[in-house]
Amino acid sequence: MFLNNFDLNLDFAKLGREFIYDPKSPIMFNSGLFIWLFVVFLFIYVALRRKDNVRLLFVICFSYYFYYKSSGIYFLLLALVTVIDFYTGYWMNKTTERAKRKSLVVLSLCINLGLLGYFKYTNFFGQIFCSLMGHNFSPFDIFLPVGISFFTFQSLSYTIDIYRKEIEPLNNILDYAFYVSFFPQLVAGPIVRARDFIPQIRKPVFVSQEMFGRAIFLIVGGLFKKAVISDYISINFVDRIFDNPLLYSGLENLMGVYGYAIQIYCDFSGYSDMAIGIALLLGFHFNINFNSPYKSASITEFWRRWHISLSTWLRDYLYISLGGNRKGKLRQYINLIITMFIGGLWHGASWNFIVWGTLHGVALAIHKAWLGITKQKKGGNKLHGWRRCIAIIITFHFVCFCWIFFRGNNFTTVLNLLTQIFTSFHGELLPQLFEGYWKVFALISLGFVMHFMPDRYENKLCNCVIQMPFFAKVIMVVLFIYVVIQMKGSDVQPFIYFQF
């Protein structure tokens, strides 16, 4: 009897630890704990669907717990940003003096970017300063809260839009807290604009059969892309290549680059699909965040298809603020480079990210110049047939070249990888490589096939899911989760964009 009670206490203790923040195991959409929590959450959410304030408060509490499970005590930062920007917008609307309005939006910018700068860039700029001064630098022990780049940018869009008089401020802090903390997109996007989301907050909860079916399709598809394709090729091939490129031939390094191209797409678009699908289950509509980016025939088109919520944010709040294309061609090119330079820095405190962003900025400027020279308006969008195919191949390989800087741990890794590709290729190893890594290459191929699949086939598949009976959808989800659990590794792999 004593032993049975002892074991029971141990089980309860272990269960209790699952609900406490663990820095080594942040909660994710593809974790078992989230799935069980979300099922319970969904039942309560449906029960509260006619009680707006209680429902909003419940979702806020769940979102804050979700963030606590991701970043611990730093959920207080989320609360701080929420309170400051809500009252900044409120006071901004109360005054008509341009100077006061400008000072308030500057205050919001300083606080949000200040928090972002402290947590992400203190050690980076400290190291640069000490290097210039000839001193050694000891990095500060600074924890990077998960998703801080996403919720600060999202909150900033609210205050900037109020300053520009594009939206009216909210009068209820409960609504604003709901907007900033809404858990599906809290830690890795997509970045949801206030003008798109706020009008949906107080609408009656309604999920049609079409919405429910599309949500299931997005969640299952996103989970497959992340937990099956991305995680498997990452653990079993890509990570090995980038950890030590010199151990592998140039052919293997090149395949590692191609593998990373589909890995990061499946990882990030998979998360976005799940976030959009989960929001849809709750009655909220998010804009698409990825639109088959490797189908792009130009770098400009690529950024209209890749991480759309970030690229449009940078365009609307940075590129246009710098002057956009209103101050001449040369200034437009400089603005593009500056925008992408900052976009690279947004991804992390590393020279690799800066080079990655700058390369894209220079490419965008060159493409804009080319469009001007050739008198084209839409670039690759006007290409058809074999010309478009060639343009897609060139754009894809430029993007892959830039991914080397994005994924490489440092410039030494980048240099070693490129050296192997150009000086030690060994194409004769291709049969052996396919034989040894056939599962990896099968999943890489499947990822590219899914990506390049015509939209009409994807829509037909989605419609098939929509037409399925309710219980058939539930059984499909349960069976799919079981299959994913059987296929994936022992550890749940974090999403790549959690670090940003």
Amino acid in the structure at residue 198: I
Instruction: State pLDDT tens for residues 425-455.
Output: 988 989 999 989 999 999 999 999 999 998 8
The alpha carbons of the chain give a radius of gyration, in whole angstroms, of 24
Distance CA 44, CA 47 (A): 5
Q: Does the model's pTM come out above 0.85?
A: yes
The more confidently predicted of residues 2 and 469 is 469
The reply to whether 33 and 123 lie within a common domain is: yes
Confidence (pLDDT) at 3? 43
The reply to whether 44 and 158 lie within a common domain is: yes
Confidence (pLDDT) at 497? 67
The reply to whether 145 and 177 lie within a common domain is: yes
Mean pLDDT to the nearest integer, 33-49: 87
Is the confidence at residue 483, as pLDDT, over 80?
A: no
Is the confidence at residue 199, as pLDDT, over 80?
A: yes
The reply to whether 121 and 179 lie within a common domain is: yes
Mean pLDDT to the nearest integer, 215-223: 91
Q: Has residue 317 been placed in a domain?
A: no
Confidence (pLDDT) at 377? 62
The reply to whether 56 and 177 lie within a common domain is: yes
User: Number of folded domains in the chain?
Assistant: 2
Is the confidence at residue 373, as pLDDT, over 90?
A: no
Say if residues 306 and 289 touch (Cβ distance below 8 Å). Answer: no
Q: Has residue 261 been placed in a domain?
A: yes
Q: Has residue 400 been placed in a domain?
A: yes
Distance CA 353, CA 341 (A): 9
Instruction: State pLDDT tens for residues 317-361.
Output: 999 988 888 888 889 999 999 999 999 988 888 899 999 999 999
Mean pLDDT to the nearest integer, 214-219: 92
Say if residues 443 and 229 touch (Cβ distance below 8 Å). Answer: yes
Q: Tokens 């269960």 map to which residue? A: 15
Give the active site residue among 307, 347, 360, 367: 347
Q: Has residue 361 been placed in a domain?
A: no
Q: Has residue 54 been placed in a domain?
A: yes
Residue after which a domain boundary falls, among 139, 171, 201: 201
The reply to whether 190 and 213 lie within a common domain is: no
Confidence (pLDDT) at 37? 86
Q: Has residue 322 been placed in a domain?
A: no
Say if residues 414 and 352 touch (Cβ distance below 8 Å). Answer: yes
Residue after which a domain boundary falls, among 157, 178, 201: 201
Confidence (pLDDT) at 256? 95
The reply to whether 31 and 146 lie within a common domain is: yes
Judge whether 347 counts as a catalytic residue.
yes
The reply to whether 169 and 223 lie within a common domain is: no
The reply to whether 194 and 67 lie within a common domain is: yes
The more confidently predicted of residues 146 and 31 is 146
Mean pLDDT to the nearest integer, 1-30: 60
Mean pLDDT to the nearest integer, 280-299: 93
Q: Has residue 312 been placed in a domain?
A: no
Mean pLDDT to the nearest integer, 116-120: 88
The reply to whether 460 and 388 lie within a common domain is: yes
Residue 116, domain extent = 15-201
Q: Residue 370: which of 320, 295, 298 has the closest Cα?
A: 298
Q: Residue 418: which of 406, 433, 400, 404 has the closest Cα?
A: 404
Q: Has residue 318 been placed in a domain?
A: no
**Contacts of residue 97, Cβ cutoff 8 Å, sequence gap at least 6:** none
Instruction: State pLDDT tens for residues 254-273.
Output: 999 999 999 999 999 998 99
Phi/psi for 425 (5° steps) reads: -75, -55
The reply to whether 111 and 19 lie within a common domain is: yes
Residue after which a domain boundary falls, among 201, 231, 246: 201
Is the confidence at residue 414, as pLDDT, over 70?
A: yes
Say if residues 329 and 297 touch (Cβ distance below 8 Å). Answer: no
The reply to whether 239 and 171 lie within a common domain is: no
**Contacts of residue 442, Cβ cutoff 8 Å, sequence gap at least 6:** none
pLDDT range class, residue 374, cuts 50, 70, 90 = confident
CB atoms within 10 A of CB 449: 9
